[in-house]
Every structure is written in C-alpha cells, then in structure tokens.
C-alpha cells in the first residue's frame, strides 16, 4: 500500500498540468480552486490547485468531484478541499473530457471507506453522502472491479486504541490459490483496505470477495460493504456466503435501511442489532423500519429494527471453506418477511436443503440502502481460533 501511495504522490508533480485543462476561461480572473487528492483506496495523498501555478493560500473550495488517473491507469479522485470522497456529488457540467467524472448516474463515488474507519468510542459522523437511486442490482464478483468499483467499504472499531500493526490469517494466498491456502492480512493507520480482498481461483466464474478480521486488541469491530447506490421498492435481497463454522463471536448480516436514516447519520455504515448493542455503545442502532437478516451461532436470526423477531433453533455449518450457500430475505407484502438459507443437508427441517423461516415484519418503504456486515467480537477470546476469521461472499442480488 505504501508503494501505491508513493506512486500517487509522485504523480502530483504532473497533476496540476492535467487539472489546468479543467479551468474555464471565466475562471482565469477568479480565485484558484483547491482539491484534495485521494488514491483509489480512499486515502488522502496530497492536494492540487487549478489553474496551474496559482498560490494555494488564495484557494476557494472546488465544486463537485472528479476522477484522476495516474500514469499506470490507477484511479484516484479530486475532492473539494477538506472533504472526503464519500461526500462526492454529481460532477459539475463544466467538467471536460480531460478527466472522467467520478459519479455515474447510478453509482456512488469511488470511496473505499467512510470516515468511521478507526473510530473513538463514539464514531465520528461523516458529512451527508448523496446517493443516486438505481434499479435491480446484481454483483457476481467475476472481476475485482465488480466489487471495488461498485461498493463502498467501511471498517469500524469500538475503540481507538486498536493495534494498527496487527496481522491475522486470511483465506486464499496472495496468488489466490484455493481457500485452504492463506495470506497475512495487515491493519494500518489509513483505510484498513486489506480486510477486503477478491479472488477467482479458477477463473471469473469462481470470483468472490472475502472479508476478514482478527485480534487487534480492539474488542469489537464491524466490516461493512454496500452497493454504491440506493434502491426503491426492494422486496428481495440475496447473497451467497460460506457456512463454515467460525466459532465464538463472528457473525454476518444483511440489512435494508431507510435512505433517510443513512443520510441523517452522515453516511455511516456501523450499525448493530440488539446482539451487540451493549458491546459497542458508539455504533449506530438500526431504526425500527430497518429489517436485518443475521447468521449468528450458525443459525438464522431476524430483526425488525432493534426488535428480535426470531433466533432459529436450526443450526448447521461445515468445515469446508470453499462452498458458498444462498441466503435470501423476502418482503411478502403482507406484514411478513421470509428468510431462506441453503444448507448441506436435506431433511424435514430443511426440505430440499433449504431452511425457511417466516416472521412478522417488513422492509422499509421508499428509498433504501442495503448493507452487508461482518461483525467480530474478540475472536481468540471467544473461541474462533487464529485461522477462522474469513467470510466468503458472492452473487449479491437486490430486487424490487
């Protein structure tokens, strides 16, 4: 990561020449415009001024955000000075073809982590994020871009005194061999981007995404990713996830949250259910309109907001990290929600290899965001073991 940042910083020597092409003639007599420069991981690596050669002390704030590509075609982003990529709006109409605009009609800006990364006991609130709406959504993760270019990511720690130099095991080695091989995952002071990684061991059809978190003296953490858009009229959300037993206090969940809540919380992604509300006082609570599907202790657990609807008794897991199983939640539009979970057995409790649970509840009306979270509560302390810190994700679908 340091090499990537160093390369981007070096490019600052030529960025002003590119940015100069953005300045319209009407700006020549106006105060110069300042931009912060972020690399493709959402890390601030410097700043630039337009027009070229203008004194930075007389800068005014830029309008909108713009893509920047270095000489190796790695994408960064120019952001109005003092802001964060997660605040990016649709770019101004004056943007020229010299630099590609940051936000497509149905995508969020390419921020990789929100400002909740490395938080104090109370998470810092980021500026309000503008999210364009979209239609039905499918992400097969056939390529890395299907994840990194379409999802925002966030890492939240309960306390600020976590160990930024911590390392832990992740499935798939650096060459993306099979899931029984391993890699060393590093935390850092910036964006903790290594806790997300993509592998396709046998080609694009096997592409999928991993999240991982281990012991870092932090007690509790939340690793989150979400589509870089909002949705309206959602009635079905599905994802394939491995059912390997991670033990102790590792669990995952998918949730449908009102956009209004997301906006009011400044684009933060660190939500907790009643399961962890007492563990992390600084994290956000799900609003009553939200619906949450959780796999905890290898069982389905469903919530309407902070109210638990069911903690299913049916428990199933596998020791094999390779297979991924379909998990879905469906709003039946009759005051009930049905959750299904594909498992590796077929019996009277899981006919056809699918466990089904229906509870009272509903998805939020109107515009929503959809979150996918991996929560970790001190894995070694609670029996997860050093090598069991990875969830495997694939085939996200969101339907209306």
Least confident of 104-108, 195-199, 367-371: 104-108
Least confident of 36-40, 209-213, 255-259, 286-290: 36-40
The pLDDT value recorded for residue 384 is 45
Query: How large is the average pLDDT for residues 288-292?
Result: 97
Residue 5 has pLDDT above 50, yes or no: no
More confident residue, 216 or 321: 321
pLDDT tens, 368-390? 999 999 988 765 554 444 545 78
What share of the chain in percent tops pLDDT 90?
39
Tell me what the pLDDT averaged over the chain comes to.
74
More confident residue, 128 or 250: 250
Contact 283, 121 (CB under 8 A): no
The pLDDT value recorded for residue 285 is 94
The pLDDT value recorded for residue 287 is 96
More confident residue, 81 or 324: 324
Residue 88 has pLDDT above 90, yes or no: no
The pLDDT value recorded for residue 12 is 46
More confident residue, 12 or 106: 12
Over the chain, what HEC string results?
CHHHHHHHHHHCCCHHHHHHCCCCHHHCCCCCEEEEEECCCCCEEEEEEECCCCCHHHCEECCCCEEEECCCCCEEEEEECCCCHHHCCCCCCCCCCCCCECCCCCCCCCCCECCCECCCCCCCCCCCCCCCEECCEEECCCCCHHHHCCEEEEEEECCCCCCCCCEEEEECCCCCCCCCCEEEEECCCCCCHHHEEEECECEHHHCEEEEECCCCCCCEEEEEEEECCEEECCCEEEEEEECECCCCCEEEEEEEEEHHHHHHCCCCCCEECCCCCCCCCCCEECCCCCEEEEEECCEEEEEECCEEEEECCCCCCECCCCCEEEEEEEECCCCEEEEEEECCCCECCEHHHEEEEEEECCCCCCEEEEEEEEEEECCCCCCCCCCCCEEEEEEEEEEC
The pLDDT value recorded for residue 56 is 53
Least confident of 175-179, 196-200, 210-214, 343-347: 210-214
The pLDDT value recorded for residue 67 is 64
């Amino acid at each position: 990561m340091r090499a990537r940042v160093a390369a981007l910083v070096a490019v600052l020597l030529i960025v002003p020449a590119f940015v100069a092409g953005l300045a319209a003639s009407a700006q020549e007599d106006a105060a110069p415009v300042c931009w912060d420069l972020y690399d493709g991981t959402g890390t601030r690596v410097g700043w630039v001024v337009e027009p070229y050669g203008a004194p930075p002390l007389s800068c005014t704030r830029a309008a909108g955000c713009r893509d920047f590509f270095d000489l190796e075609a790695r994408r960064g982003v120019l952001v109005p000075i003092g802001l964060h990529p997660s605040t990016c709006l649709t770019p101004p109409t004056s943007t020229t073809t010299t630099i590609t605009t940051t936000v497509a009609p149905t995508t969020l800006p390419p921020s990789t982590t929100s400002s909740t990364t490395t938080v104090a006991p109370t998470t810092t609130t980021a500026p309000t994020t503008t999210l364009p709406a979209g239609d039905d959504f499918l992400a097969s993760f056939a390529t890395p871009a299907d994840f990194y270019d379409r999802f925002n990511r966030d890492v939240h720690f309960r306390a600020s005194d976590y160990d930024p130099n911590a390392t832990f095991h992740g499935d798939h080695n650096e060459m993306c061999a099979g899931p029984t091989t391993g890699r060393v995952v590093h935390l850092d002071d910036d964006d903790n981007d290594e806790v997300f990684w993509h592998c396709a061991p046998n080609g694009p059809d096997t592409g999928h995404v991993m999240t991982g978190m281990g012991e870092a003296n932090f007690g509790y953490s939340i690793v989150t990713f979400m589509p870089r858009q909002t949705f309206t009229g959602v009635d079905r959300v599905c994802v394939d996830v491995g059912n390997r037993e991670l033990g102790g206090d590792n669990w995952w969940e998918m949730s449908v949250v009102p956009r209004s809540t997301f906006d009011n919380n400044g684009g933060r992604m660190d939500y907790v259910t009643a399961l962890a509300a007492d563990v992390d006082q600084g994290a956000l609570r799900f609003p009553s309109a939200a619906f949450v599907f959780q796999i905890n202790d290898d069982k389905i657990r469903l919530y309407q907001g902070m109210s638990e609807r069911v903690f299913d008794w049916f428990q199933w897991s596998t020791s094999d990290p390779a297979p991924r199983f379909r998990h879905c939640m469906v709003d039946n539009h009759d005051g009930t929600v049905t959750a299904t979970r594909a498992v590796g057995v077929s019996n009277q409790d899981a006919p056809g290899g699918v466990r089904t649970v229906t509870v009272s509840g509903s998805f939020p009306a109107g515009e929503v965001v959809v979150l996918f979270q991996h929560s970790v509560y001190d894995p070694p302390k609670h029996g997860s073991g050093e090598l069991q810190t990875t969830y495997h994700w694939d085939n996200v679908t969101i339907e209306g």
